[in-house]
Amino acid sequence: MRAKLCFLAMAGLWLTSCARPGTATAPPIDWLKQVQPFVNRAAPAYTPPLPTPQPFPTNAPSCQAGQLRAVGVPDGVGAGNYRYEVDFTNASQVPCQLSGTPQVQGLDPSGRLVTLPLTVGTYFLDPIPADIAPGESGYLNIGMFNAGSCPDAPAPVTYSKLRFGLPGGGWISTDISVTRACGGLTISGLGKEPGPVVEPSPNPGSIETLAVSLEGFPQQARTATTVHFVVVLANPSQVAVRLSPCSSYTEIINPYEPISRSLYLNCDHVTVIPPGARVRYAMELEVPQRLPHQAALVAAKWSWRLNVPYPAAGIGGVLTVQS
Protein backbone atom coordinates (compact mmCIF):
# COMPACT_ATOMS: atom_id res chain seq x y z
CA MET A 1 0.00 0.00 0.00
CA ARG A 2 2.83 2.36 0.87
CA ALA A 3 4.57 1.59 -2.41
CA LYS A 4 1.38 2.38 -4.33
CA LEU A 5 1.02 5.77 -2.66
CA CYS A 6 4.62 6.60 -3.43
CA PHE A 7 4.11 5.68 -7.08
CA LEU A 8 1.05 7.92 -7.37
CA ALA A 9 2.82 10.81 -5.73
CA MET A 10 5.78 10.48 -8.05
CA ALA A 11 3.46 10.25 -11.07
CA GLY A 12 1.73 13.46 -10.04
CA LEU A 13 5.06 15.16 -9.57
CA TRP A 14 6.19 13.99 -13.03
CA LEU A 15 3.00 15.26 -14.68
CA THR A 16 3.36 18.58 -12.93
CA SER A 17 6.98 19.00 -13.89
CA CYS A 18 6.25 18.09 -17.52
CA ALA A 19 3.24 20.38 -18.01
CA ARG A 20 3.76 22.83 -20.84
CA PRO A 21 4.12 26.50 -19.89
CA GLY A 22 1.31 28.87 -20.94
CA THR A 23 -1.52 26.33 -20.65
CA ALA A 24 -3.11 28.05 -17.64
CA THR A 25 -6.70 29.31 -18.14
CA ALA A 26 -6.75 32.89 -19.46
CA PRO A 27 -8.47 35.47 -17.23
CA PRO A 28 -12.00 36.37 -18.35
CA ILE A 29 -12.43 39.42 -20.60
CA ASP A 30 -13.77 42.49 -18.81
CA TRP A 31 -16.30 43.49 -21.46
CA LEU A 32 -17.18 46.68 -19.61
CA LYS A 33 -13.74 47.95 -20.64
CA GLN A 34 -14.03 46.82 -24.26
CA VAL A 35 -15.71 48.43 -27.26
CA GLN A 36 -18.72 46.24 -28.03
CA PRO A 37 -18.41 45.13 -31.69
CA PHE A 38 -20.97 46.45 -34.17
CA VAL A 39 -23.76 43.98 -35.00
CA ASN A 40 -26.12 44.42 -37.92
CA ARG A 41 -29.32 43.11 -36.33
CA ALA A 42 -32.40 44.80 -37.71
CA ALA A 43 -35.00 46.00 -35.18
CA PRO A 44 -38.59 47.12 -35.77
CA ALA A 45 -38.97 50.74 -36.85
CA TYR A 46 -39.71 52.95 -33.87
CA THR A 47 -41.83 56.09 -33.63
CA PRO A 48 -41.50 57.89 -30.29
CA PRO A 49 -44.83 58.85 -28.73
CA LEU A 50 -45.73 62.51 -28.99
CA PRO A 51 -45.56 64.39 -25.71
CA THR A 52 -48.95 65.52 -24.49
CA PRO A 53 -49.80 68.39 -22.16
CA GLN A 54 -51.36 67.87 -18.78
CA PRO A 55 -55.14 67.59 -19.25
CA PHE A 56 -57.53 70.07 -17.66
CA PRO A 57 -60.39 69.00 -15.36
CA THR A 58 -63.47 68.01 -17.36
CA ASN A 59 -66.03 67.23 -14.66
CA ALA A 60 -68.63 69.92 -15.41
CA PRO A 61 -71.56 69.34 -17.79
CA SER A 62 -71.11 70.47 -21.39
CA CYS A 63 -71.63 74.17 -22.04
CA GLN A 64 -74.94 75.12 -23.63
CA ALA A 65 -75.46 78.04 -25.97
CA GLY A 66 -77.34 80.06 -23.38
CA GLN A 67 -74.33 80.00 -21.04
CA LEU A 68 -71.79 81.43 -23.49
CA ARG A 69 -70.93 84.64 -25.29
CA ALA A 70 -68.82 84.39 -28.47
CA VAL A 71 -66.52 86.92 -30.13
CA GLY A 72 -64.12 86.58 -33.07
CA VAL A 73 -60.44 87.50 -32.78
CA PRO A 74 -58.51 87.39 -36.11
CA ASP A 75 -55.02 86.32 -35.09
CA GLY A 76 -52.03 84.44 -36.42
CA VAL A 77 -50.36 83.70 -39.74
CA GLY A 78 -48.05 80.80 -40.52
CA ALA A 79 -46.78 79.14 -43.71
CA GLY A 80 -49.69 80.40 -45.80
CA ASN A 81 -52.24 79.66 -43.07
CA TYR A 82 -54.50 82.18 -41.35
CA ARG A 83 -55.87 81.66 -37.86
CA TYR A 84 -59.23 83.04 -36.74
CA GLU A 85 -59.81 82.54 -33.03
CA VAL A 86 -63.35 82.42 -31.68
CA ASP A 87 -63.49 83.05 -27.94
CA PHE A 88 -66.31 81.64 -25.80
CA THR A 89 -66.86 83.19 -22.37
CA ASN A 90 -68.93 81.56 -19.63
CA ALA A 91 -71.61 84.17 -18.86
CA SER A 92 -73.52 81.89 -16.48
CA GLN A 93 -73.18 81.36 -12.74
CA VAL A 94 -71.94 77.76 -12.90
CA PRO A 95 -68.94 76.01 -14.49
CA CYS A 96 -69.41 74.19 -17.77
CA GLN A 97 -67.21 72.11 -20.05
CA LEU A 98 -65.89 73.24 -23.43
CA SER A 99 -65.16 70.19 -25.56
CA GLY A 100 -66.06 68.62 -28.87
CA THR A 101 -66.36 70.25 -32.29
CA PRO A 102 -69.39 72.45 -32.98
CA GLN A 103 -71.40 72.58 -36.17
CA VAL A 104 -70.83 75.80 -38.10
CA GLN A 105 -73.30 77.48 -40.44
CA GLY A 106 -73.12 80.78 -42.29
CA LEU A 107 -74.50 82.82 -45.16
CA ASP A 108 -72.92 82.12 -48.53
CA PRO A 109 -72.46 84.92 -51.14
CA SER A 110 -76.06 84.45 -52.30
CA GLY A 111 -77.40 84.90 -48.75
CA ARG A 112 -78.36 81.25 -48.21
CA LEU A 113 -77.73 79.66 -44.81
CA VAL A 114 -75.39 76.72 -45.42
CA THR A 115 -73.26 74.36 -43.38
CA LEU A 116 -69.59 75.20 -43.81
CA PRO A 117 -67.37 72.45 -45.30
CA LEU A 118 -64.84 72.14 -42.48
CA THR A 119 -61.99 69.72 -41.83
CA VAL A 120 -61.21 69.02 -38.16
CA GLY A 121 -57.66 69.93 -37.10
CA THR A 122 -55.83 73.18 -37.90
CA TYR A 123 -52.24 74.15 -38.61
CA PHE A 124 -52.08 76.04 -35.31
CA LEU A 125 -51.97 75.02 -31.65
CA ASP A 126 -55.47 73.73 -31.01
CA PRO A 127 -57.19 73.85 -27.62
CA ILE A 128 -57.92 70.82 -25.46
CA PRO A 129 -61.12 70.07 -23.50
CA ALA A 130 -61.53 71.96 -20.24
CA ASP A 131 -64.02 73.15 -17.65
CA ILE A 132 -64.45 76.95 -17.60
CA ALA A 133 -65.57 78.79 -14.51
CA PRO A 134 -68.07 81.70 -14.60
CA GLY A 135 -66.36 84.62 -16.36
CA GLU A 136 -63.61 82.37 -17.77
CA SER A 137 -63.06 81.89 -21.50
CA GLY A 138 -62.06 79.15 -23.88
CA TYR A 139 -61.80 79.17 -27.66
CA LEU A 140 -61.64 77.31 -30.95
CA ASN A 141 -59.55 77.89 -34.08
CA ILE A 142 -60.75 78.29 -37.63
CA GLY A 143 -57.96 77.84 -40.15
CA MET A 144 -57.94 79.53 -43.55
CA PHE A 145 -55.48 79.39 -46.44
CA ASN A 146 -53.80 82.07 -48.49
CA ALA A 147 -55.50 82.21 -51.89
CA GLY A 148 -52.20 83.23 -53.47
CA SER A 149 -50.71 79.85 -52.59
CA CYS A 150 -52.96 77.98 -55.03
CA PRO A 151 -53.77 80.06 -58.12
CA ASP A 152 -55.42 77.08 -59.88
CA ALA A 153 -57.88 76.38 -57.05
CA PRO A 154 -61.57 77.38 -57.13
CA ALA A 155 -62.35 81.03 -56.42
CA PRO A 156 -62.46 81.96 -52.71
CA VAL A 157 -65.88 81.87 -51.03
CA THR A 158 -66.73 84.08 -48.04
CA TYR A 159 -69.24 82.96 -45.39
CA SER A 160 -70.72 85.58 -43.08
CA LYS A 161 -72.88 85.71 -39.95
CA LEU A 162 -71.46 82.45 -38.63
CA ARG A 163 -73.40 80.55 -36.00
CA PHE A 164 -72.12 77.68 -33.90
CA GLY A 165 -74.11 74.63 -32.86
CA LEU A 166 -72.61 73.52 -29.57
CA PRO A 167 -72.18 69.83 -28.64
CA GLY A 168 -73.97 70.66 -25.37
CA GLY A 169 -76.98 72.06 -27.20
CA GLY A 170 -78.16 75.30 -28.78
CA TRP A 171 -76.79 77.76 -31.31
CA ILE A 172 -74.72 80.93 -30.83
CA SER A 173 -75.04 83.59 -33.54
CA THR A 174 -72.13 85.94 -34.37
CA ASP A 175 -71.07 88.56 -36.93
CA ILE A 176 -67.96 86.54 -37.82
CA SER A 177 -66.97 86.06 -41.47
CA VAL A 178 -64.43 83.58 -42.85
CA THR A 179 -63.15 82.88 -46.35
CA ARG A 180 -62.71 79.46 -47.88
CA ALA A 181 -59.69 79.65 -50.19
CA CYS A 182 -57.60 76.94 -51.83
CA GLY A 183 -60.63 74.70 -51.42
CA GLY A 184 -60.40 74.35 -47.65
CA LEU A 185 -61.38 75.50 -44.18
CA THR A 186 -60.29 73.84 -40.96
CA ILE A 187 -61.61 73.91 -37.41
CA SER A 188 -60.46 72.76 -34.00
CA GLY A 189 -62.43 71.49 -31.08
CA LEU A 190 -63.53 73.66 -28.15
CA GLY A 191 -61.37 74.05 -25.08
CA LYS A 192 -58.52 75.98 -23.50
CA GLU A 193 -54.95 76.55 -24.62
CA PRO A 194 -52.78 73.55 -23.67
CA GLY A 195 -50.32 74.11 -20.89
CA PRO A 196 -46.60 73.32 -21.18
CA VAL A 197 -45.58 69.73 -21.66
CA VAL A 198 -44.02 68.34 -18.49
CA GLU A 199 -41.35 65.79 -19.27
CA PRO A 200 -41.87 62.63 -17.23
CA SER A 201 -39.02 61.52 -15.02
CA PRO A 202 -37.55 58.16 -16.09
CA ASN A 203 -37.87 55.30 -13.65
CA PRO A 204 -34.68 54.34 -11.76
CA GLY A 205 -32.90 51.54 -13.56
CA SER A 206 -34.58 52.24 -16.91
CA ILE A 207 -32.58 52.77 -20.08
CA GLU A 208 -33.91 56.34 -20.27
CA THR A 209 -31.57 57.21 -17.37
CA LEU A 210 -28.48 56.55 -19.51
CA ALA A 211 -26.45 59.48 -20.83
CA VAL A 212 -25.36 59.32 -24.48
CA SER A 213 -22.06 60.67 -25.86
CA LEU A 214 -19.88 60.11 -28.92
CA GLU A 215 -16.29 59.21 -29.70
CA GLY A 216 -14.59 59.51 -33.04
CA PHE A 217 -17.44 60.89 -35.16
CA PRO A 218 -15.92 62.59 -38.24
CA GLN A 219 -16.82 66.04 -39.48
CA GLN A 220 -17.11 64.96 -43.10
CA ALA A 221 -17.60 61.85 -45.21
CA ARG A 222 -18.05 60.84 -48.83
CA THR A 223 -21.25 59.55 -50.37
CA ALA A 224 -21.74 55.77 -50.54
CA THR A 225 -19.39 55.18 -47.61
CA THR A 226 -19.77 54.02 -44.02
CA VAL A 227 -19.05 56.29 -41.08
CA HIS A 228 -17.52 54.45 -38.12
CA PHE A 229 -17.85 55.89 -34.64
CA VAL A 230 -18.46 54.92 -31.01
CA VAL A 231 -21.53 55.59 -28.89
CA VAL A 232 -20.97 55.71 -25.14
CA LEU A 233 -23.82 54.83 -22.79
CA ALA A 234 -23.09 55.99 -19.25
CA ASN A 235 -25.07 55.22 -16.13
CA PRO A 236 -24.84 58.28 -13.84
CA SER A 237 -27.40 56.91 -11.40
CA GLN A 238 -27.07 54.74 -8.31
CA VAL A 239 -29.17 51.94 -9.81
CA ALA A 240 -27.97 49.33 -12.29
CA VAL A 241 -29.54 49.48 -15.76
CA ARG A 242 -30.44 46.12 -17.27
CA LEU A 243 -30.31 45.69 -21.04
CA SER A 244 -32.69 42.79 -21.01
CA PRO A 245 -34.51 42.58 -23.31
CA CYS A 246 -31.82 44.05 -25.52
CA SER A 247 -32.56 47.65 -26.45
CA SER A 248 -32.64 49.01 -29.98
CA TYR A 249 -31.73 52.35 -31.50
CA THR A 250 -32.47 54.40 -34.61
CA GLU A 251 -30.00 56.18 -36.86
CA ILE A 252 -31.17 58.95 -39.20
CA ILE A 253 -29.15 60.80 -41.81
CA ASN A 254 -30.62 63.49 -44.04
CA PRO A 255 -28.26 64.57 -46.82
CA TYR A 256 -31.03 64.91 -49.42
CA GLU A 257 -34.01 63.24 -47.74
CA PRO A 258 -34.33 61.44 -44.37
CA ILE A 259 -32.99 57.88 -44.33
CA SER A 260 -33.34 55.86 -41.15
CA ARG A 261 -32.72 52.37 -39.87
CA SER A 262 -33.33 50.69 -36.52
CA LEU A 263 -30.91 48.13 -35.09
CA TYR A 264 -30.35 46.31 -31.82
CA LEU A 265 -27.45 47.06 -29.52
CA ASN A 266 -24.83 44.36 -29.12
CA CYS A 267 -25.98 42.82 -25.83
CA ASP A 268 -23.96 39.62 -26.30
CA HIS A 269 -21.52 40.41 -23.52
CA VAL A 270 -22.85 43.30 -21.42
CA THR A 271 -26.41 42.89 -20.17
CA VAL A 272 -26.16 45.19 -17.14
CA ILE A 273 -24.58 48.63 -16.86
CA PRO A 274 -23.63 49.07 -13.20
CA PRO A 275 -23.99 52.41 -11.36
CA GLY A 276 -21.29 54.83 -12.49
CA ALA A 277 -20.18 52.59 -15.37
CA ARG A 278 -20.05 53.33 -19.08
CA VAL A 279 -20.20 51.00 -22.06
CA ARG A 280 -18.81 51.82 -25.52
CA TYR A 281 -20.48 50.51 -28.67
CA ALA A 282 -19.02 50.48 -32.17
CA MET A 283 -21.48 52.01 -34.65
CA GLU A 284 -21.83 52.32 -38.40
CA LEU A 285 -23.77 55.00 -40.28
CA GLU A 286 -24.38 54.45 -43.98
CA VAL A 287 -24.01 57.57 -46.15
CA PRO A 288 -26.22 57.17 -49.23
CA GLN A 289 -25.19 57.53 -52.84
CA ARG A 290 -25.78 60.92 -54.44
CA LEU A 291 -28.27 61.04 -57.28
CA PRO A 292 -27.31 62.96 -60.47
CA HIS A 293 -29.62 65.90 -59.75
CA GLN A 294 -28.42 66.33 -56.16
CA ALA A 295 -25.73 68.71 -54.93
CA ALA A 296 -22.15 67.41 -54.68
CA LEU A 297 -21.61 68.96 -51.25
CA VAL A 298 -24.27 69.13 -48.56
CA ALA A 299 -24.53 69.56 -44.80
CA ALA A 300 -26.42 66.47 -43.67
CA LYS A 301 -28.20 66.41 -40.35
CA TRP A 302 -27.91 63.10 -38.51
CA SER A 303 -29.13 61.66 -35.24
CA TRP A 304 -28.70 58.58 -33.05
CA ARG A 305 -31.24 57.77 -30.36
CA LEU A 306 -32.27 54.88 -28.20
CA ASN A 307 -35.72 53.55 -29.02
CA VAL A 308 -37.35 54.37 -25.72
CA PRO A 309 -40.49 56.29 -24.79
CA TYR A 310 -40.25 60.04 -24.36
CA PRO A 311 -37.95 61.44 -23.11
CA ALA A 312 -35.40 59.60 -25.26
CA ALA A 313 -31.65 59.40 -24.87
CA GLY A 314 -30.05 60.56 -28.08
CA ILE A 315 -27.54 62.78 -29.82
CA GLY A 316 -27.10 64.35 -33.23
CA GLY A 317 -25.27 66.87 -35.35
CA VAL A 318 -24.25 67.85 -38.87
CA LEU A 319 -22.02 65.85 -41.23
CA THR A 320 -20.50 67.42 -44.36
CA VAL A 321 -21.17 64.98 -47.20
CA GLN A 322 -19.28 65.28 -50.48
CA SER A 323 -19.09 63.20 -53.64
| pLDDT tens digits along 217-234 | 999 999 999 999 999 999
Give span(s): CATH 2.60.40.10, the chain.
33-50+201-322
| Buried b / exposed e along 212-238 (16+ C-beta atoms within 10 A) | beeeebeeebebeeebeebbbbbbebe
pLDDT value, residue 195: 87
pLDDT value, residue 4: 44
Q: Which band of pLDDT confidence, cut at 50, 70 and 90, is reported for residue 145?
A: confident
pLDDT value, residue 292: 76
Residue range 189-197: mean pLDDT, rounded: 91
Backbone φ and ψ for 107, nearest 5 degrees, come out as: -90, 125
Residue 17 pLDDT greater than 50, yes or no: no
CATH of 65-187, one of 1.10.287, 1.20.58, 1.10.1740, 2.60.40: 2.60.40
pLDDT tens for each residue of 70-83: 999 877 665 568 88
Residue 202, Cβ neighbours under 10 Å: how many?
Answer: 18
Q: Which band of pLDDT confidence, cut at 50, 70 and 90, is reported for residue 132?
A: very high
pLDDT value, residue 201: 80
Cis peptide before 245 (omega within 30 of 0): yes
Alpha-carbon distance values, 147 to 119, 151, 219, 263 (Å)? 17, 7, 44, 45
Residue 11 pLDDT greater than 50, yes or no: no
Q: Looking at 8-12, 159-163, 183-187, 229-233, which range is the least confident one?
A: 8-12
Residue 25 pLDDT greater than 50, yes or no: yes
pTM of the predicted model, to two decimals?
0.60
Residue range 33-52: mean pLDDT, rounded: 91
Distance (Å, rounded) from C-alpha 194 to C-alpha 102?
Answer: 19
Architecture of domain 33-50+201-322: Sandwich (2.60)
pLDDT value, residue 77: 64
pLDDT, averaged across the chain: 87
Distance (Å, rounded) from C-alpha 145 to C-alpha 10?
Answer: 100
Residue range 265-294: mean pLDDT, rounded: 93
Do 127 and 140 touch, CB atoms closer than 8 A?
yes
Q: Which band of pLDDT confidence, cut at 50, 70 and 90, is reported for residue 146?
A: confident
pLDDT value, residue 259: 92
Distance (Å, rounded) from C-alpha 13 to C-alpha 120?
Answer: 90
pLDDT value, residue 178: 92
Q: Looking at 8-17, 119-128, 159-168, which range is the least confident one?
A: 8-17
